[in-house]
């Protein structure tokens, strides 16, 4: 009886440890970065050079609050996803990379 109690206590923590931990989806993030690069020139109505991830959306690229909304809506359409924007903040809109991180972490999946 002591052995089975010992086996039981050892197997329970193993189950807890083996649970996968969900993290950001690197494939989705890459798609979002590509989508931003493709859509920004159309939203801003001008040609843009290659966009590094640290390019500042407002200061360098001239994004406005209206064009930010347009960009997010265009991203949803082109990538066929829904973005939960309720928690979006100023830091999430600082750069191409920070917006991609936000979108990747706030995509609504339909079950």
Per DSSP, the residues of 62-99 read ---HHHHHHHHHHHHHHHT-EE--TT--GGGGSBHHHH
pLDDT value for 50: 85
Q: In this predicted model, which residue has the larger pLDDT, 68 or 23?
A: 68
Condensed to tens digits (0 to 9), the pLDDT of residues 7-59 reads 544 444 444 443 434 567 999 999 999 999 999 999 999 998 888 999 999 99
In the chain, the domains with their CATH numbers are: 25-108 (1.10.1200.10)
52 within 8 A of 91, measured Cβ to Cβ: no
Write down the pTM of the prediction: 0.76
Q: With cut-offs at 50, 70 and 90, classify the pLDDT of residue 109.
A: confident
The whole-angstrom distance between residue 36's C-alpha and the CA centroid of its chain comes to 12
Residue 45 class from Cβ within 10 Å (0-12 exposed, 13-18 middle, 19+ buried)? exposed
Q: Which range has the worst mean pLDDT, 12-26, 51-65, 68-82, 90-104?
A: 12-26
């Amino acid at each position: 009886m002591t052995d089975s109690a010992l086996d039981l206590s050892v197997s329970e923590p193993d189950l807890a440890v083996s649970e996968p931990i969900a993290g950001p989806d690197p494939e989705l993030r890459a798609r979002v970065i590509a989508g931003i690069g493709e859509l920004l020139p159309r939203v801003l109505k001008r040609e843009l050079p290659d966009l590094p991830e640290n390019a500042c959306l407002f200061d360098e690229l001239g994004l406005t609050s209206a064009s930010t909304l347009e960009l997010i809506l265009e991203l949803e359409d082109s990538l066929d996803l829904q973005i939960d924007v309720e928690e979006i903040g100023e830091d999430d809109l600082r750069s191409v990379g920070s917006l991609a991180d936000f979108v990747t972490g706030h995509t609504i999946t339909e079950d």
